[in-house]
Structure 1
Amino acid sequence: MNLQKLPWAGIRVQAGATSVAIDPLYHFPAKYGESREPLYPLGEFGAVDAVLITHHHADHFDPEAIKTFYGADTPVFLPAETAHLAREAGLANVRGAGAGETFEIGSLRATAAPAVDGMGDPQVSWVVEGDGKRIFHGGDTLWHGYWWAVAAEHGPFDAACLPVNGAVLELPGRTPSGQPICLTPEQAVAAAVVLGAKRLVPIHYVAIHHPPLYRETSDIPDRLAAAARDRIQLNVLQAKETLRL
């Protein structure tokens, strides 16, 4: 199995002749200003047989990019509560997923697992298996109590792809909490350890830092390295880099 890093939170998973993209992004949400990392045309990463979406926020679900680079008929799997949004966006092969549901995609098997969204919207994580390997993709989940259940039901994992930017938001019309809406570097390491992952692949950082609306936490690389030391292997990938499991 190969893991290829896409920009922001995206990962392309390949096993044999089958590939899927998880949370692929090309059109950067305008409310966050300019992306702080390059957003490459998704076609540069290769074709996919399906797209897995963790949740419908614009930095994770880019239906125009899916239609442009993969085709409107490409199977798209996302939380069942928001499947109608994908259909309304012109995607023609949409499957709603709930935690625990499994889908066979060529030589890959994808299972939706629990996640908790920082804004209270529907979200799933994805467990993807193939070539005797198993990975976990956590979208932009925050810390929750499902880690142990996921580990027991689906683990151990060869890699856990987890958000690390501990973003704090100040949204119009909402009282600021001052609390991160996704995992911090230390929480990502802890989650990967609980999941029984062999390695942590950090996602969901660098591209967005637009205070006060969206404030990324500080010193991410150093904090990741310190938290992971003597606990778990850390594989930091840049966009287009591939990790063979």
Structure 2
Amino acid sequence: MEIQKLNWAGIKLTSHNKTILIDAVEDFSYYKPVLGDAVESLIEFSDHVQADYILFTHLHLDHFDKGVIRKCLKKNGKLIVYAGLEAVVRKIVIDAEIIILDLNETFTENNITFKPVFAMDGLGEIQSSWIVDDGKTKLFHGGDTIWHNQFWKLGKENSNIDYAFLPVNGVVVNFEIIGLEYSPVPASLSLKEAFAAAHLLHAKKLVLIHYGLFAHEKFYIPQVFDDNDMKRISEEVGQEYMVLKDGTVLLKS
């Protein structure tokens, strides 16, 4: 499996001559009033990527990009959707084949297995995490889940996870402008929580996602950390990790 880190929480997988996109977003302009401007150049991929399968953890627009679906999904490609999102997705996407899966239900095609599993959204929206397994490499993608009590169970029921892609910015949000009262409790995993979650998933490596690209002093306030923090928490928790810069390709045989 070849894995490429895209913008923010997005990744592109290539396996068995098939291309898979998860939480692949190119246009963040809708959320600019609350996220602010990206602090680094965004990767543009939609003009040259053709996907056989597109997955997303939830429908927040920094994880779900209608333009990417329109431009990147092949004519015979498939959206693979957690059942909790079906009704909304069918209203948004009307001209694509959609595979609907309940939590822990699997869909296998071209020797690749897809499985949505439990997640908990920081704003109370519907969200799942995804496990993708091509027989040689298994990965977990956690969108922007918060801490929950199912990581132990997920680790026991889903063995041999090679990479856990987990959010780490522990962001505090102030979304009163859309009717949500302010809360100082982080709306995504913090760095330490992500290391702990990866450890409970028994993942060989934590891969950090959903951090560094956006901050807004009033509305979107992420926790700040550095290389020393990552090394310290890795040793404390006993969890290996890796940092992939946006655009970096990881090759796994």
**Which residue of structure 2 aligns with residue 136 of structure 1?**
140
**Which residue of structure 2 aligns with residue 236 of structure 1?**
243
Q: Measured at CA, do residues 51 and 174 of structure 1 come closer, stay the same or move farther in structure 2, by a change above 3 Å?
A: same
TM-score under structure 1 normalisation?
A: 0.93
Q: Measured at CA, do residues 216 and 105 of structure 1 come closer, stay the same or move farther in structure 2, by a change above 3 Å?
A: farther
1:145 and 2:125 equivalent?
no
**Contact 1:81 1:122 (C-alpha < 8 Å) held by counterparts:** yes
Distance 1:68 1:151 in 2: 35
SS in 1 for 2:84: helix
Letter in 1 for 2:249: T
**Which residue of structure 2 aligns with residue 194 of structure 1?**
200
1:68 Cα deviation (Å)?
A: 1.7
Identity value in percent:
31
1:73 Cα deviation (Å)?
A: 5.6
TM-score under structure 2 normalisation?
A: 0.90
> Could you list the per-position Cα deviations for residues 75-106 of structure 1 after superposition, in whole angstroms to 9, with x for gaps in the alignment?
11233232233232234222333211111132
> Structure 1 residue runs of 4+, over 4 Å off?
none
Q: Measured at CA, do residues 56 and 232 of structure 1 come closer, stay the same or move farther in structure 2, by a change above 3 Å?
A: same
Distance 1:235 1:20 in 2: 21
Number of residue pairs matched? 245
Distance 1:113 1:164 in 2: 19
Distance 2:147 2:48 in 1: 30
**Which residue of structure 2 aligns with residue 100 of structure 1?**
104
**Which residue of structure 2 aligns with residue 48 of structure 1?**
51
Report matched runs for 1:1-245 at 5 Å: 1-28=1-28, 29-31=31-33, 32-43=35-46, 46-71=49-74, 74-91=77-94, 92-172=96-176, 173-229=179-235, 231-245=238-252
**Contact 2:52 2:76 (C-alpha < 8 Å) held by counterparts:** no
Letter in 2 for 1:62: D
Distance 1:135 1:109 in 2: 11
**Contact 2:51 2:72 (C-alpha < 8 Å) held by counterparts:** no
Q: Measured at CA, do residues 169 and 52 of structure 1 come closer, stay the same or move farther in structure 2, by a change above 3 Å?
A: same
1:234 Cα deviation (Å)?
A: 1.5
Q: Measured at CA, do residues 63 and 238 of structure 1 come closer, stay the same or move farther in structure 2, by a change above 3 Å?
A: same
CA RMSD of aligned residues (A): 1.8
SS in 2 for 1:42: coil
**Contact 2:47 2:72 (C-alpha < 8 Å) held by counterparts:** no
1:44 Cα deviation (Å)?
A: 6.5
